[in-house]
Every structure is written in structure tokens, then in C-alpha cells.
A and B are shown apart, each in its own frame.
Chain A
Amino acid sequence: DTGVSQNPRHKITKRGQNVTFRCDPISEHNRLYWYRQTLGQGPEFLTYFQNEAQLEKSRLLSDRFSAERPKGSFSTLEIQRTEQGDSAMYLCASSTGTSGMYNEQFFGPGTRLTVL
């Protein structure tokens, strides 16, 4: 069990640039979640996939944000035209998927984004 991995661990970019993060879930997990954590706050839900289908999106996920999980395995989160307010830790989590039941979410180490 290698756990959830995220790359890169740190990203520094200039305002207006595009950035992309990758998340590799635990191999048998069919659910994948993205959260954002700003300084001094708890994680906030962004979006959720069941296999390759994106089933939930938070209102925090503006049109500059797009997430994909093309083959139901790894996922990418892209932020276009980054703003300083996008600076945060982006956390990925995965879980098994039993309908109607809570399945424990396992979190990756996160990608810390700094927008200058």
C-alpha cells in the first residue's frame, strides 16, 4: 500500500500563469476527492469523482479551475490564470466506493501552491 501521492509537493508560480497538479490514489480506490486548505483554515471540499465521472463540484471551484480523471485512476487539477488568492495547500483523498455508505478518505501529503 503506497498511499495517496501528489505531485509536485510545492509549486511557486507568478500571477496569471497556469498550473497543474497530479494525484495518484490508492490503486483499488474508485472515489477521488480534491480539497483546498488555506492558512489557518480547515480543508474545504472542491470536487469529487466516482471512477472517471465528476459527480460533485463546490461553488469554490470557479471556472478557472478544472479537474479531470480520464481513466478513473490518477486525477489532475488545473488552475488557469492563477491569482494570489489561489495560494493554498491542495489536498487529494481517495476511498473505496460503496453506495450509500461512508468509506474512509485517505489523504495525500498535498501540493502547496504559492502565487507571487
Chain B
Amino acid sequence: AQSVTQLGSHVSVSEGALVLLRCNYSSSVPPYLFWYVQYPNQGLQLLLKYTSAATLVKGINGFEAEFKKSETSFHLTKPSAHMSDAAEYFCAVSSLGAGSYQLTFGKGTKLSVIP
């Protein structure tokens, strides 16, 4: 079975500061990992994905994440926060390795950006 733990339900950063959102996963098979962003009253938008190629993954809007197998982590970073980054972020793991196409999501981290 797969699971995802996101540390910190709410993170606040100043505009221009580093964004770091933490995600740890558990998977019995090699994982596919994802970060999604959700703005209020909207669906989920894919930021980036890891599918067993390069361990450092670059996504949209300047975000990137690094897959660290030894730490079972897939933390999301952005060097400089912008006001428009304020949203909720979800880390997810695919169950494809176990024969399922469902995604298992973490509980989410709400990012606030302080001007």
C-alpha cells in the first residue's frame, strides 16, 4: 500500500523567501510521485512529476522537487516566493506499480505568502 505524509498543514513565508514544502512517502514498489496545486474553488493542477527518470524534477512556475530514495522524500522547493504562489499544495503517489491507476494524496499544505 502507498501513503504520503506532508509535514506542516500550514506554511508561511515572506515574499521573495525560499519555499520548502515537505513530503515523505511510503511505497512497496518504485513510486511515481507528484505535486499538485489547488487554488480556492478550483481543481488540482499538476506542478511536477517524478517517474523514475532524473531525480531532480523541474515543474511549472519555478518549482522543483528532488526524489531521495534513501530518505523516502520528495520535497517541493522554489527559490523565491511570489504572492501568486499562495495556494494549497498536495503531494501524491501513484499506485501504478501495484497495478492500480489511482493516486494517493497527502493531506495538503496551505502556503501563505506575506508581502
User: Which chain A residues have a beta carbon within 8 Å of chain B's beta carbons?
Assistant: 4, 31, 33, 35, 40-45, 48, 56, 58, 91, 93, 95, 100-110, 112
Contacts and interface: CB of A to CB of B under 8 A. Distances in A.
Given A42-B90, A43-B90, A105 B41 contact: no
B107 A41 contact: yes
Contacts of B103: 35, 43, 45, 105
Contacts of B70: none
Given A107-B44, A110-B43, A45 B102 contact: yes
Interface of B: 4, 9, 32, 36, 41-46, 49, 51, 90, 92, 94, 96, 100-108
Nearest to B94: A102
B39 to A, nearest CB: 10
A44 B92 CA distance: 11
Given A4-B43, A42-B90, A56 B107 contact: no
Nearest to B95: A45
A44 B51 CA distance: 21
